[in-house]
């Protein structure tokens, strides 16, 4: 009998460096604390199950039978299930982005759109600009594609055009990634006049703009300005550089894993090729369900309930924090979305250190370092008000106050 002659290799040696050394999602790593009994987690940006239209979804599921169910259980086109493409084109048209079914690429969540763009547009060594702070899973997607991430500073109205202009001139980036509506984590809205400036700058420097918009429908008092994609006709050349990502996760249900992309045909085509080798297509069953849900007007009818409920939660958390942490925390009351982004006022504050005391007091938040490209200690923290009703949020704010005393800040 002969012994196999392969060299002794550690399984980890097979993994590419970029994956071997990548940190996991800091937010997903907090999940083990979320599940502890008695914990009030303000960490995850998870839509509240009790606010989902479970009865409506069940009705629609029940109505899928016979031939329509058989079709929903079959393979479908990579671009998406045609009835859903039609319904998403109508929804996009309503939001100021006139579209036809053929313009829509259905995604397995908008996260897939970020990854498809990273894979089809970014080559190792390319630079991608992001607003600071930004969505950590986008940072990961860009880094895993081998790109270098450069941050662009902003203020309460989003990225600063003069800083963006300088970054574009210095780094010649391939792509700019923005969450212009109720950003994760910043909750900021990119001001209307800046949207045109961003487009003009991107065109001038030949830079793609990837606009990620999972929260735009969750406004409380007033809708956000028109999307960059909707404005592309106003700036010569902008139609070639604008890509828009929408999502049904925050408004219908994240478990359906559905999002969509609008953008130039050449880019969508590249993303379709990448998606063919990724998952073939989004689940036909959830696409068929969402198509009917949208077509029957249920989505439009449900949105006002969500806006009212999340609006009440956002106000409850900001009022309670104002009382429990007066003078120690600075933040703007959220105008939409799911997050409150706050800064600890103490000098040299590092919210990662505070988190340990918070866990002892059974409350969770995400330390701000997770949302910056350099991952350095940060005085910022992200709180989500989505998953708790008002009483839980008030209790969470009390615990945060007590834990900060305990942390000695
Ligand atoms: C800014 C941003 N983009 C994309 C996503 C991913 O959403 P989806 O469930 O549509 O993949 C999220 C989810 O938290 C997000 O916050």
Do 206 and 325 sit in the same domain of this protein?
no
Could you tell me the distance, in angstroms and rounded to a whole number, from the CA of residue 327 to the centre of ligand 1?
32
Is there a domain that residue 36 lies in?
yes
Do 168 and 64 sit in the same domain of this protein?
yes
Dihedral angle computed from the Cα positions of residues 116, 118, 123 and 125, in that order, rounded to the nearest 10 degrees: -170
End position of a domain, from candidates 296, 316, 336: 296
End position of a domain, from candidates 296, 312, 343: 296
> Are the C-beta atoms of 357 and 406 separated by less than 8 Å?
yes
Do 89 and 228 sit in the same domain of this protein?
yes
Could you tell me the distance, in angstroms and rounded to a whole number, from the CA of residue 210 to the centre of ligand 1?
13
Domain count, the chain: 2
Of all atoms in ligand 1, which is nearest to the CA of residue 45?
Answer: 14
Could you tell me the distance, in angstroms and rounded to a whole number, from the CA of residue 214 to the centre of ligand 1?
6
- The rounded percent of the chain whose pLDDT value lies above 70 is 98
Is there a domain that residue 152 lies in?
yes
Tokens of 50: 């009790």
pLDDT tens digit sequence for 375-391: 888 999 999 999 999 99
Residue 163 pLDDT: 98
pLDDT tens digit sequence for 190-242: 999 999 999 999 999 999 999 999 999 999 999 999 999 999 999 999 999 99
In sequence order, the 6+-apart residues with CB closer than 8 A to the CB of 194 are 157, 158, 159, 161
pLDDT tens digit sequence for 270-284: 999 999 999 999 999
Of all atoms in ligand 1, which is nearest to the CA of residue 254?
Answer: 9
**Domain of 289: which CATH number?**
3.40.640.10
Of all atoms in ligand 1, which is nearest to the CA of residue 258?
Answer: 10
3-state secondary structure of 225: coil
Which residues lie with the beta carbon below 6 Å from any ligand 1 atom? 45, 109-111, 135, 179, 184, 212, 214, 247, 249, 254, 259
Q: Is the pLDDT of residue 295 over 90?
A: yes
Average pLDDT, integer, range 143-154: 97
Do 39 and 84 sit in the same domain of this protein?
no
Is there a domain that residue 13 lies in?
no
Is there a domain that residue 1 lies in?
no
Is there a domain that residue 142 lies in?
yes
Burial environment of residue 291 by CB neighbours within 10 A (0 to 12, 13 to 18, 19 or more): buried
Do 397 and 328 sit in the same domain of this protein?
yes
Could you tell me the distance, in angstroms and rounded to a whole number, from the CA of residue 96 to the centre of ligand 1?
21
Could you tell me the distance, in angstroms and rounded to a whole number, from the CA of residue 185 to the centre of ligand 1?
11
CA distance 362 to 369: 21
DSSP percent split of the chain into helix, strand, coil, nearest 5: 45, 15, 40
Is there a domain that residue 77 lies in?
yes
pLDDT range class, residue 6, cuts 50, 70, 90: low
For 12-42, give the DSSP string: GGGS-HHHHTPPPPHHHHTHHHHTSTT-EE-
Instruction: Name the closest-CA residue to atom 6, ligand 1.
Output: 111
pLDDT tens digit sequence for 61-71: 999 999 999 99
End position of a domain, from candidates 281, 296, 311: 296
Do 67 and 126 sit in the same domain of this protein?
yes
User: Can you give the pTM of this predicted structure?
Assistant: 0.96
**Domain of 372: which CATH number?**
3.90.1150.10
3-state secondary structure of 253: coil
Q: Is the pLDDT of residue 2 over 90?
A: no
Residue 181 φ/ψ, nearest 5 degrees? -115, 115
Is there a domain that residue 4 lies in?
no
Do 192 and 260 sit in the same domain of this protein?
yes
In sequence order, the 6+-apart residues with CB closer than 8 A to the CB of 168 are 129, 176, 201, 202, 204, 205, 207
Could you tell me the distance, in angstroms and rounded to a whole number, from the CA of residue 3 to the centre of ligand 1?
50
Do 68 and 169 sit in the same domain of this protein?
yes
Do 73 and 87 sit in the same domain of this protein?
yes
Do 232 and 347 sit in the same domain of this protein?
no
Do 278 and 365 sit in the same domain of this protein?
no
Domain with 328, as residue range(s), is: 19-51+303-407
Ligand 1: which of 113, 138, 214 to mutate, most ligand atoms within 8 Å of CB? 214
Is there a domain that residue 12 lies in?
no
CA distance 210 to 148: 16
Could you tell me the distance, in angstroms and rounded to a whole number, from the CA of residue 258 to the centre of ligand 1?
10
Of all atoms in ligand 1, which is nearest to the CA of residue 112?
Answer: 11
Do 221 and 93 sit in the same domain of this protein?
yes
């Amino acid at each position: 009998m002969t012994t196999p002659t392969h060299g002794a290799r550690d399984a980890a040696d097979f993994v590419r460096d970029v994956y071997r050394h990548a940190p996991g999602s800091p937010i997903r790593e907090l999940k083990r604390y979320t599940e502890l009994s008695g914990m009030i987690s303000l960490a995850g940006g998870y839509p509240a199950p009790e606010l989902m239209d479970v009865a409506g979804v069940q009705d629609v599921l029940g109505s899928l039978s016979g031939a329509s169910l058989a079709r929903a259980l079959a393979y479908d086109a990579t671009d998406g299930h045609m009835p859903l493409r039609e319904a998403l084109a109508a929804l996009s048209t309503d939001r100021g982005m006139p579209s036809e079914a053929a313009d829509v690429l259905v995604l397995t969540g908008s996260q897939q759109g970020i990854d498809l763009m990273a894979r089809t547009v970014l080559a190792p060594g390319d630079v991608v600009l992001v607003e600071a702070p930004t969505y950590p899973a986008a940072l990961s997607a860009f880094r895993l594609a081998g790109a270098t991430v450069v941050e662009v500073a902003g203020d309460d109205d989003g990225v600063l055009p003069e800083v963006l202009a300088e970054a574009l001139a210095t780094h010649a980036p391939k792509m700019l990634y923005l969450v212009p509506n109720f950003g994760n984590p910043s909750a900021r809205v990119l001001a209307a006049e800046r949207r045109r400036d961003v487009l003009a700058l991107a065109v001038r420097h030949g830079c793609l703009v990837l606009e990620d918009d999972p929260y735009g429908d969750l406004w409380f008092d007033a809708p956000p300005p028109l999307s960059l994609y909707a404005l592309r006709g106003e700036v010569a050349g902008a139609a070639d550089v604008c890509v828009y990502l929408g999502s049904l996760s925050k408004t219908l249900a994240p478990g359906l894993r559905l999002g969509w992309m609008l953008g130039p045909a050449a880019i969508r085509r590249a993303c379709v090729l990448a998606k063919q080798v990724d998952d073939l297509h989004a689940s036909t069953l959830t696409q068929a369900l969402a198509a009917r849900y949208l077509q029957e007007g249920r989505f439009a009818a449900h949105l006002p309930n969500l806006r009212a409920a999340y609006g009440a939660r956002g106000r409850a958390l900001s009022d309670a924090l104002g009382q429990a942490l007066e003078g120690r925390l600075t933040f703007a009351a959220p105008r939409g979305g799911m997050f409150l982004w706050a800064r600890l006022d103490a000098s040299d504050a590092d919210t990662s250190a505070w988190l340990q005391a918070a866990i002892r007091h059974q409350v969770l938040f995400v330390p701000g370092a997770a949302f910056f490209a350099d991952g350095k200690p940060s005085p910022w923290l992200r709180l989500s008000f989505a998953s708790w009703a008002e009483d839980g949020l008030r209790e969470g704010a009390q615990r945060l106050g007590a834990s900060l005393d305990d942390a000695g800040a």
